[in-house]
Chains A and B, each alone.
Chain A
Amino acid sequence: MPEGQFCNKRPVNTDEELKALLGDTGGQKYYQEMKALEVDTALLWSTIQKTMKSRIKTWLSICAHCGMCADSCFIYRVSNRNPKQVPAYKIQSTLGEIVRRKGKVDNAFMHMAMETAWAKCTCCNRCGMYCPHGIDMGVMFGYLRGLLYQQGFVPWEMKIGAGMHRVYRAQMDVPNEEFVDTFQWMVEENQEEYPRLEVPVDKEGADILYTVNAREVKHYPEDLAEAAILFHIAGEDWTVTSEGWELTSLAMFAGDWEACKMQVTSVYGAMERLKPKRMVGTECGHAHRATVVEGPYWAGRKDGQTPVPSIHYVEWLAEALRTGKLKIDPEKRIKVPVTIQDSCNYIRNHGLKEVTREIISYIVEPGYFRDMSPNREHNYCCGGGGGFNGIGLYRRQRNEALKTKRDQILATGAELVLAPCHNCWDAIRDLIEEYEVPVKWSFLKPLILKMAVVPEHLKPRE
């Protein structure tokens, strides 16, 4: 069974293996090796027999081929309504076919399935809302990704991402001590303006345990500073953990089920160790889905709940504004046409649609907010969800997919797009660059920080 040096069925479990894979820039050798990778059909079939439960079996068999899912899929719509982009077709021709053939598929089939699973579906779950039977192709593609990952047919960046979680319990090479040091560094850089600013580490029994996305630590540390300052201004009793601080899961995007469990278990361990009243996660969509919505099941938690109540950053923000912990200077509210990107992972899939609109009611001058069409749970994916943004091999397809969001944004006439999700933020940045769209885009934290009233006792003394 030809297993490549880079492309093989083995998960990445050491830093050395990670570095070796990273050294193959862009996965050039990796994808060459994939062309010779054999499918372990016996393993594929036995895995399906062990893991494919009644819901997916039922969904595959009851599809009436009615086509109602077609127009629900933004990738179908943006592909000139190519029938091969109809969600039902996409899943039946991949997962459905593997099941029909009892796992006896070849390398070329797996290449096709990989492209379908990562470049034709962002797991946005919109189709599931429109199917008369409630069949959710996004859920099934998540399952298919697991089968593909096990066989080594996974995009290079996704293999690395899953490996990062295995080695670092974070989606990037950020050791625990670097997380704490970076947070402290950011606090120090802002202490002139906020003299009593601090980051409490491993404080037991705090009201809030704050968790982040490793990218904020590695590449965008200003996000950590903004979070610390907003908790500080709001007078919150908060802490971070020196272990189990990563909310995201590229393992989920990769279909590495074992790493999914490893990752959320580390966060739940922190919750159990520090016993905060609740956990607040950063402005990330898929991270919320991974750690708060799906993670409890990966970890085998019978109640389907995280060890302590866990909320998204927008929920904390709305509450802080509602209760007056954070006060907005009305003069500084947003006074340009503005819209918001509804993140699939916590709007459609976790019901927070009115929470973000409540925030808007505090921070946008009346008359300036313009909803996209469609919006709320009906909104389209940013175009880069489910790992799509991060896969160089499928950049052309991703850039095509961005056109839906581009046109939605342009139709609002907005000059600013609120994007409280890292994936959405990246996709909107890239569509602005790719298509030269004249808008600005932002997370909520930096905007709130510009308009929040700082209590007198927290200001520096003259």
Chain B
Amino acid sequence: MADVEFNGKKFVMDEDGFIDSFENWCPEWVQYVKGLEGIEELSEEHWKVINVLQDYYKKNGIAPMVRVLSKVTGFKLKHIYELFPSGPGKGACKMAGLPKPTGCV
């Protein structure tokens, strides 16, 4: 676990740079991760993806399938990659404060 301070907020990250607990997520975390993910400006579309991921996680305790993410947001897969270059399973989940997906990812 590593600590990081950003815009006056302290975060604890796991070994892969995911936030230690969904409970500790706050908008400053998104600002912190966006730099690491190579995202210049956060648009409403980024926030739409983040919100959908968080809603799904709150209900199900796990990240959704990309198909579900695409269906609920209305974004095609290519567009999701344009928004989150490291992919929905990694970059988008990280920003949304979800834990690192388990399995071969």
Contact = CB atoms under 8 A, between A and B. Distances in A.
Interface of A: 19, 22-23, 25-26, 157, 160-161, 164, 171-174, 178, 181-182, 185-186, 189, 213-215, 217-222, 248, 250, 389-390, 392, 395-396, 422-423, 426
Contact residues on B (Cβ < 8 Å of other chain), bracket:
20 to 34
Interface stretch (B3-11, B15-23, B26-34, B41-49): B15-23
B15 A185 contact: no
Contact of A185 (B60, B67, B88, B99): B67
Interface of B: 14-16, 20-22, 60-62, 65-67, 70, 76-78, 81, 87-90, 99-105
B95 to A, nearest CB: 15
B77 A173 contact: no
A174 B105 CA distance: 14
A355 B100 CA distance: 35
Contact of A178 (B60, B65, B103): B65
B102 A390 contact: yes
B104 A426 contact: yes
- Interface secondary structure of A, over-half rule: helix
Contacts of A164: 103
- Interface secondary structure of B, over-half rule: loop
Contacts of B103: 157, 160-161, 164, 171-172, 214-215, 250, 390
21 contacts: A22-B99, A25-B14, A25-B21, A161-B102, A164-B103, A178-B65, A182-B65, A182-B66, A182-B67, A189-B76, A189-B77, A215-B89, A215-B105, A218-B89, A219-B88, A219-B105, A220-B66, A250-B103, A250-B104, A392-B15, A422-B104
Contacts of A426: 104-105
Q: Of residues B77, B88, B89, which shows the largest number of chain A Cβ atoms within 10 Å of its Cβ?
A: B77
A389 to B, nearest CB: 7
Given A19-B62, A25-B20, A171 B104 contact: yes
Nearest to A188: B76
Contacts of B101: 172, 218-219
Contacts of B104: 171, 213, 215, 248, 250, 389-390, 422-423, 426
